[in-house]
Chains A and B, each alone.
Chain A
């Protein structure tokens, strides 16, 4: 168990409203990631973090921002949600203590519906 908690697990919101998804980890891992999953697209990387206040863009970062003010929390924000951002969002961490393996451990996902 990699100790990853996502919240909220389900959310319905309206176009134009701000939304923040939270990813919380209990294992003090350095690397954290946000992915979105859509039918026919697999999982696509939105943003990732390699330390406190260190973040970078992924493949589909437009319309999203992230923040990491402490090691255990990685926040994903949709400043003004659009229907195209209806998706399932996964947080993931990469363990780095025992040597890098590339493997990601995933949270349970957050389903966001934008009406």
Chain B
């Protein structure tokens, strides 16, 4: 079974600075998808960014980017110019690619933004 590990239960960053959230995963598959979801206090699950394993290029969405290291099975999220609205739980998730069995999530990282 696939596992997803987020080793940082909580991170804190000053507003306008950059922070990196770590994620590692374990799989024997060669084709899969990786995701970062954000969950603010409203509890809504919001997709931040997605990466297809077959793509060499790291995904980027505005201030959010990933560092995808396939051989190392690492998928970190970098948030640049942190804003107060970025404060949330962040979940890393894995999907085996084409399967109907949903996402496997890490336990989450609570991100605190210091004003």
**Interface of chain B, main secondary structure:** loop
* 8 A Cβ contacts from B36-77 to A: 43-45, 47, 50
User: A33 contacts which of B33, B44, B102, B108 (Cβ < 8 Å)?
Assistant: B102
Residues of A within 8 A of B32 (CB): 102
Q: Does A44 contact B (CB under 8 A)?
A: yes
Q: Does A106 contact B (CB under 8 A)?
A: yes
Of chain B, the residue at the smallest CB distance from A51 is: B100
| Proximity bits, A12-49, B CB within 8 Å = 1, else 0 | 00000000000000000001010100001111110010
A100 touches B43 (CB 8 A): no
A42 touches B107 (CB 8 A): yes
Using known A-B contacts A42-B107, A90-B45, determine if residue A102 contacts B101 with beta carbons closer than 8 Å. Answer: no
B43 touches A41 (CB 8 A): no
Using known A-B contacts A48-B100, A56-B101, determine if residue A40 contacts B107 with beta carbons closer than 8 Å. Answer: yes
B45 touches A102 (CB 8 A): no
| Proximity bits, A81-115, B CB within 8 Å = 1, else 0 | 00000001010101000001111101011000000
State in angstroms the CA–CA spacing of A43 and B105 once bound together: 6
A103 touches B50 (CB 8 A): yes
B105 to chain A, nearest CB (A): 4
Give the number of chain A interface residues (Cβ < 8 Å).
25
Using known A-B contacts A41-B107, A108-B43, determine if residue A101 contacts B33 with beta carbons closer than 8 Å. Answer: yes
Of chain A, the residue at the smallest CB distance from B89 is: A42
Q: Does A3 contact B (CB under 8 A)?
A: no
* 8 A Cβ contacts from B82-115 to A: 91, 95, 97-98, 100-108
Residues of B within 8 A of A (CB): 6, 32-33, 35, 43-45, 47, 50, 91, 95, 97-98, 100-108
Q: A35-B102, A41-B107, A102-B35 are in contact. List 9 more A-B contacts (CB 8 A).
A: A42-B6, A42-B107, A45-B101, A45-B102, A45-B104, A58-B102, A101-B33, A103-B33, A104-B102
In the complex, 23 of the A-B residue pairs with CB atoms within 8 angstroms, ordered by the A residue number, are A40-B107, A41-B107, A42-B91, A42-B105, A43-B103, A45-B101, A45-B102, A48-B101, A58-B101, A58-B102, A92-B102, A100-B98, A101-B33, A101-B50, A102-B32, A102-B33, A102-B35, A102-B95, A102-B103, A103-B35, A104-B103, A108-B43, A109-B43
